[in-house]
């Protein structure tokens, strides 16, 4: 297991376009670390810099205690899994897995043993003599994984490896990759644009936007305490309901629509406007203490079996509510939902700084002995 550290790392193209700004992060040895963000945010560029496939414009990168800015990829003792698998179509599965081992001048017996061991781990033993075209998408993905881990590298980089798979197979492969990382104890750095992958796989995640770090932390902490409106709307499905609000003496207004009474006059005296946010699961159909009624007209209904997601207008914004169970509702129907005042997040409208976090958040419940 090895630690990876980036200190004030910058990446600029043509001395004009900066794609990564002062990246500071330490990825701990044995950690499953996920880089997540929208397309073009710089996450794949950062991964390629760690791999040595892109030069570092400024700053320093360490693997353990060694500065590796000028170290070629072959000497960084890491492996990489690409989005398109990068398998050789004319080679068998066994030959694809062992391809990189021949350059290390290992004996044939050692190479064969390693291939057999990793094939057993990834349930590929029955496919060793097949060509990639004879495999399914999930099997090809496992071959790419096998080739990455057979080298016994202590760091494994993955660049959106599941994006070409269907939804059911992605779910299965997420669990497989996570279990494999735990079993091998390697440091895994994983790039994805899918916030569900980030939430379910990462020990910690780093959210990038326009080349800048937005937040780093455990997935559940980021979900419960998003640092700014971008993180709030990026993590979560449906995303957090969010909108700019005007503060008046009698309450908070979104596009002149009354939302909540202003119970914190003193706290927000310096702010005329701010950004308010509330998670869909915190909007309820049940009147509770400190919950303000909001009459709505349904724009859309999604029946998902275990829950129903409704959409409605708040001013010019579309908000969502997640309601447990199955609800017989119709588009255009009028009803009242309730907004708990302590479920709102408040952000500075100019800087995006979190001014007040919600006090209604999830909490861990532990099962007793079964």
Cβ atoms of residues 31 and 6 within 8 Å = no
Q: Is 34 part of a structural domain of the chain?
A: yes
Answer whether 293's CB lies under 8 Å from 287's CB.
yes
Is the domain of 168 the same as that of 276?
no
Number of domains present in the structure of the chain: 2
**Whether residue 94 sits in one domain with residue 25:** yes
Are residues 310 and 273 part of one domain? yes
Element (H, E) at 127: none
Contacts of 148 (CB under 8 A, 6+ apart): 79, 80, 81, 156
Decide if 56 is inside a domain.
yes
Domain with residue 235: its CATH number is: 2.40.50.140
The tens-digit pLDDT sequence of the chain (370 residues) is 799 999 999 999 987 899 999 999 999 999 999 999 999 999 999 999 999 999 999 999 999 989 999 999 888 989 888 877 788 999 999 999 998 887 777 888 988 998 998 888 888 999 999 999 999 888 888 898 888 888 888 899 999 888 877 888 788 888 888 988 898 889 999 999 999 999 999 999 999 999 999 999 999 999 999 999 999 999 998 999 999 999 888 889 999 999 988 776 556 666 678 999 999 999 999 888 889 999 999 999 999 999 999 999 999 999 999 999 999 999 999 999 999 999 999 999 999 999 888 988 765 566 554 4
Considering the domain boundaries, does residue 207 fall inside one?
yes
CATH number of the domain that residue 125 is part of = 3.40.50.300
Q: How far apart are CA 190 and CA 174, in angstroms?
A: 11
The tokens for 180 are: 């494999």
Asked whether residue 368 is domain-assigned, the answer is no
Residue 17 domain boundaries? 4-224
C-alpha–C-alpha distance, residues 238 and 120, integer Å: 39
Q: Report d(CA 229, CA 354) in Å as an integer.
A: 8
Please check whether residues 220 and 318 belong to one and the same domain.
Answer: no
For residues 116 and 156, give the distance between their C-alpha atoms in angstroms, rounded to a whole number.
20
Distances (CA, A) of 162 to 52, 106, 196, 197, 206: 23, 31, 12, 9, 19
Domain boundary among 224, 242, 263: 224
At residue 149's C-alpha, the angle toward residues 148 and 153, to 5°, is: 95
> Which of 188, 206, 224 is where one domain is finished?
224
The answer on 278 and 189 residing in a single domain is no
All residues at 6 or more sequence positions from 179 whose CB lies less than 8 Å from its CB, including other chains? none
Same domain for 317 and 193, yes or no, is: no
Residue 265 and residue 196 in one domain: no
308 and 182, same domain (yes or no): no
Residue that terminates a domain, selected from 197, 224, 251 = 224
| Residue 151 to residue 144: CA distance in whole angstroms | 12
């Amino acid at each position: 297991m090895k630690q990876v550290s980036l200190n004030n790392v910058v990446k600029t193209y043509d001395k004009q376009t900066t794609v990564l700004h002062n990246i500071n992060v330490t990825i701990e040895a044995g950690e499953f670390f996920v880089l997540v963000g929208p397309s073009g945010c710089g996450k794949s560029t950062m991964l390629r810099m760690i791999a040595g496939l892109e030069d570092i414009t400024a700053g320093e990168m360490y693997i353990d205690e060694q500065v590796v800015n000028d170290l070629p990829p072959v000497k960084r003792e890491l492996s990489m899994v690409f989005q398109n698998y990068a398998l050789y179509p004319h080679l068998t599965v066994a030959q694809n897995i062992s391809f990189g081992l021949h350059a290390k001048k290992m004996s044939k017996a050692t190479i064969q043993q390693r291939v057999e061991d990793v094939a057993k781990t990834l349930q590929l033993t029955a496919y060793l003599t097949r060509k990639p075209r004879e495999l399914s998408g999930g099997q090809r993905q496992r071959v790419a994984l096998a080739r990455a881990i057979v080298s016994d590298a202590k760091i494994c980089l993955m660049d959106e490896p599941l994006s070409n798979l269907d939804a059911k197979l992605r779910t299965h492969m997420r669990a497989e990759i996570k279990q494999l990382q735990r079993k091998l104890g390697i440091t895994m750095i994983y790039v994805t644009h899918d916030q569900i992958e980030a939430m379910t796989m990462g020990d910690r995640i780093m959210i990038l936007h326009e080349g800048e770090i937005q937040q780093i932390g455990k997935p559940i902490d980021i979900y419960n305490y998003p640092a700014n409106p971008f993180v709030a709307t990026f993590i979560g499905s449906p995303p957090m309901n969010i909108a700019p609000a005007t503060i008046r003496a009698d309450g908070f207004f979104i596009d002149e629509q009354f939302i909540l009474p202003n119970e914190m006059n003193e706290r927000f005296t310096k702010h005329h406007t701010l950004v308010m946010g509330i998670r869909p699961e915190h909007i309820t159909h049940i009147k509770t203490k400190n919950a303000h009624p909001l009459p709505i007209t349904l724009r859309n209904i999604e029946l998902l079996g275990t829950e129903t997601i409704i959409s409605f207008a708040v001013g010019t914004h579309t908000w969502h509510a997640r309601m447990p169970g199955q609800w017989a509702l119709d588009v255009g129907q009028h009803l009242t939902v309730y907004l708990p005042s302590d479920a709102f997040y408040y952000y500075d409208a100019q800087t995006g700084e979190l001014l007040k976090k919600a006090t209604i958040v999830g909490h861990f419940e532990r099962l007793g002995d079964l």
